[in-house]
Amino acid sequence: MSSYLCAIGTANPPHRIPQLQIADFMAGALQLDEGGTRKLRALYRVSGIGQRYTVLPDYGRANGRFEFFPNTPDLEPFPSVGQRMAEYRRHALPLSVQAAQDCLRQVPETTAASITHLITVSCTGMYAPGLDIELVAALGLPGHVQRTCVNFMGCYAAVNALKLADAFCRATPAARVLVVCTELCTLHFQKSTEEDHLVSNALFGDGSAAVLVQGRPRAAGPSLALTAFHCGLEPDGHADMAWHINNFGFEMTLSSYVPRMIQQGIGQLTARLLADLPVQLADIRAFAIHPGGRKILESIEQALGLTAHDNRFAYQVLRDYGNMSSATVLFVLRELLRTLAPADAGAPVLSFAFGPGLTLEAMLLTVAWGSEPSARKHILEHHAQAAEILPA
């Protein structure tokens, strides 16, 4: 028995702001002098990000025209957690609905009324009754849909949501699981010149991604069989990537050591993922890696012997959207899906995501094309060989 990722829908807020324009906002907000502004702009130039999306238009405006931040030179009084969560409640639902509708439009044979499970994912806001309940009404899902929330796990949370979806489908073959990852990272700008905050302010954007997972591939076009998962934990990185709630928003710790630690651990993570599968790293030509930052992507390439072309989908998403926390790896998978052809049926896809802990998540997916018998036979043969770790 297999489960299949059948469609990915995405959505972003209306405010698309060039990276260097955001740098100008940050320099003003931090009241940097000429030298500090020059260094900050250099950091933004080498980030690999061309633009980001945000629910807050302020990042593209000059002081005196802000809607969310105070129109004072130092942005005081700086917005509280409560004010930021009010913005999250206002924007998270419509963005999530857009992504979910985009997803379901791609699989006309699956209606909102047929969804059996809903999984919502977010680390940038929470409330109760929450986004999951609001989505039931907004999308017209059945009132008895089984709801699960994955909260505050960071950038790797989408992988955990897919693990849950896979388990639901294996337990109930007729299950149809809608996963919605929505992150409004830009609500949590920290007015600080500490290196961690400067880096996180330079990376994160807002977005939502929705995925349909079910026990059979879509009737036509590409699907991705969820073949295997593996989680690694690097305790030495416990303090180097963290996410804490403070008085003025959620504070990200992202030290300069993170790329090095990922580079040291990614080889072993990959080996353990593939150990009991009839797939070797040399067999894999398709990759969907969470673009936590340009240096992280380059470190993984060095560790696994990949090229920038192998990582092209991750670089594309980083350039066009920045890091959107949990939604980002799904944006990468969406770009990969768009390039697939019938000849790719049976091809393995390797995906990674990273987050607090330091947690390293890996998953192997396998391309299926439509529900044609030949494509299903190839996938089933692949899973049969891996039966020791993937019982039916």
Interval 151-205: pLDDT, tens:
999 899 999 999 999 999 999 999 999 999 999 999 999 898 988 889 889 999 9
Residue ranges of domains in the chain: 3-214, 221-370
Interval 295-321: pLDDT, tens:
999 999 999 999 999 999 999 999 999
pTM of the model: 0.92
Domains 3-214 and 221-370 agree in fold? yes
Quick one: angle between helices 328-337 and 312-321, nearest 10? 120
Interval 116-155: pLDDT, tens:
999 999 999 999 999 999 999 999 999 999 999 999 998 9
Which among 6, 103, 123, 155 is annotated as catalytic? 155
Chain centroid to CA 29: how far?
A: 28
pLDDT of residue 73: 87
What percentage of residues in the chain have a pLDDT greater than 90? 74
- SS3 label, residue 155: helix
| CATH class given for the domain over 3-214 | alpha beta
* CATH of the domain spanning 221-370: 3.40.47.10
Question: Strand 359-369 and strand 176-184: pairing?
Answer: unpaired
Residue 375 has pLDDT above 50, yes or no: no
Return the DSSP state at 359.
E
Residue 261 has pLDDT above 50, yes or no: yes
CA pair distance 5, 158, nearest whole angstrom? 12
Active-site residue 155, yes or no?
yes
